């Protein structure tokens, strides 16, 4: 029905964005990719999952830091690409994985700049899930077992890291309305409510196709 | 049904946000306030509409500018409030008007920091409408008869002015997802699609009430 629509989901830490994506995929009977992207990228490139997991949604550190840490291949890159920081090489591999997945049909992809990577594809619905800080803190403690005294800090730092990653690899701004087609406060309508709202938007998108405002 | 829900609508210039608000109000059979707020504030304060129209959604200029322009009452303010720039005084009057309207029941209010002004009220649904620059330019030319060579500039400058106004009078950021409960790209689903999506969110809000994520 949704014409091979690919749903990308950006999210604040603790907003339940991943859960929204999982629920959405289940309701629509389509594949769901979050951490699964790490295993897929590792499989396709032959590199270790640990390498991808370590770089997951992190922007490249400064060249100086990379040099000190020894992960800036100066002459001949171990991955076959020279003069490029490791995280950038891993990002390019993940780009290929995401583009390949999108080609196979409708699916849900969480984070990892998927909206930007698929910017030239038609039929992509870009969503951002956020929530009140209070409810994110509560969720971080309950779901991720974060220490209650550190929970707020963990939420804010995780968001900062996601924003850095997104803003580094794209020409858009993480968390700005105009970056997405639809953004929702999950603390107002819950996980299920968000999934239903996204499905309704997908239907409206198909009906309205190309007619403008 | 929506329990006296007040809908506030922030919007990019040319995104059709006002039209979305008008359509929403019509579908729900509730009052709609946009420029109407100017007449109401003028009526209630006894000041001229022209004064409010001139200050509409504009942040206070710098004190220096206000002094030069003669609209910074130094000793005894003509409006009964001393030592406060004119735009700030008009903003306070508009605050009262908006709060009074919200008390009378469900309605749609466009712009003017209404979401922030009503932050302590329960049952407020804060929406932001945006759209691709291309479609906003097209709309600016068609609907507002803006010169086609200036349309892009007009859109971007109007947004900057709205952001300045909003960020000056609130502690939130205009156009950021987290500022709103729901944000929608009107160029993807049209005016009617946006209105329907807002109504669906309102229903989900009432059903989910206070349950968190």
CATH of the domain at B100: 3.40.50.300
Looking at the DSSP assignment, which residues form a beta bridge with residue A8? A109, A126
The whole-angstrom distance between B142's CA and the closest CA on chain A is 12
Q: How many CB atoms lie within 10 A of CB A183?
A: 29
| pLDDT grade for B74, boundaries at 50, 70 and 90 | very low
Residue A20 resides in a domain: yes
Contact A181 B177 (CB under 8 A): no
Please report how the helices A186-208 and B186-208 are oriented relative to each other, as an axis angle in degrees rounded to 10.
150
Structural domain includes residue B152: yes
Which residues in chain B have Cβ-Cβ distances shorter than 8 Å to A119?
none
Write the residue in B131, B175, B183 that is nearest to A213 by C-beta. B131
Question: Chains A and B: how many Cβ contacts under 8 Å?
Answer: 117
Residue A85 domain-assigned?
Answer: yes
CA dist B55 and B87 (Å) reads 6
Categorise residue B19: left if φ over 0, alpha if ψ from -120 to 50, beta otherwise: alpha
Q: pLDDT for A127-174, tens place per residue?
A: 999 999 999 999 999 999 999 999 999 999 999 999 999 999 999 999
B1 vs A199: CA distance, rounded Å: 23
d(CA A59, CA A70): 16
pLDDT digits 0-9 by tens, A3-36: 799 999 999 999 999 999 999 999 999 999 998 8
Chain B positions touching A144 (Cβ under 8 A) are none
- Report the pLDDT value the prediction gives residue A190, as an integer from 0 to 100: 97
What is the DSSP annotation of A130-162? Answer: E--HHHHHHHHHHHH---TTTHHHHHHHHHHHH
Query: Does residue B121 carry a pLDDT above 60?
Result: yes
Average pLDDT over residues A79-84: 59
A1 part of a folded domain: no
Is pLDDT above 80 for B82? no
CB A187 within 8 A of CB A132: yes
- Structural domain including A200 reads 6-208
Which among B16, B177, B191 is the nearest to A183, CB-wise? B177
Task: Write the residue in B128, B131, B189 that is nearest to A208 by C-beta.
Answer: B189
- CB contacts, 8 Å: B139 with chain A: 213
3-class DSSP assignment, residue A59: coil
Residues from chain B contacting residue A189 (CB–CB below 8 Å): 201, 204-205, 208
Task: Tell which wins on pLDDT, B200 or A62.
Answer: B200
Which stretch of A175-179, B7-11, B142-146 has the lowest confidence by average pLDDT? B142-146
Instruction: Tell whether the model's pLDDT for residue A1 goes beyond 90.
Output: no
Mean pLDDT of all residues in A47-51: 87
* Domains in chain A, number: 1
Residue of A136, A183, A205 with shortest CB distance to B183: A183
Domain membership flag for residue B213: no
Given a cut of 50, is residue A176 above it in pLDDT?
A: yes
Taking only the tens place, the pLDDT of each residue in B90-99 is: 889 999 999 9
In a domain, B1, yes or no: no
């Amino acid at each position: 029905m949704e014409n091979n629509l690919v749903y990308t989901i950006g999210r604040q830490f603790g907003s339940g964005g991943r859960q929204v994506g999982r629920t959405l995929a289940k309701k629509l009977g389509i594949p769901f990719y979050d951490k699964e992207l790490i295993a897929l990228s590792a499989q396709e490139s032959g590199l270790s999952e640990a390498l991808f997991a370590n770089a997951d949604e992190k922007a490249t550190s400064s060249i100086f830091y990379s040099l000190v840490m020894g992960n800036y291949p100066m002459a001949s890159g171990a991955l076959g690409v020279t003069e490029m920081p490791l995280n950038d090489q891993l990002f390019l591999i993940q780009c290929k994985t995401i583009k390949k997945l999108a080609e196979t049909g409708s699916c849900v992809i969480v984070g990892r700049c998927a909206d930007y990577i698929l910017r030239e594809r038609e039929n992509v619905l870009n969503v951002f899930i956020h929530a009140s800080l209070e409810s994110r803190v509560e969720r971080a403690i309950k779901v991720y077992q974060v220490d209650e005294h550190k929970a707020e800090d963990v939420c804010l730092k995780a968001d900062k890291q996601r924003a850095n990653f997104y803003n580094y690899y794209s020409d858009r701004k993480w968390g700005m309305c105009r970056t997405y087609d639809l953004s929702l406060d999950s603390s107002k309508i819950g996980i299920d409510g968000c999934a239903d709202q996204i499905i309704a938007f997908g239907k409206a998108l198909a009906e309205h196709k190309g007619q403008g405002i």
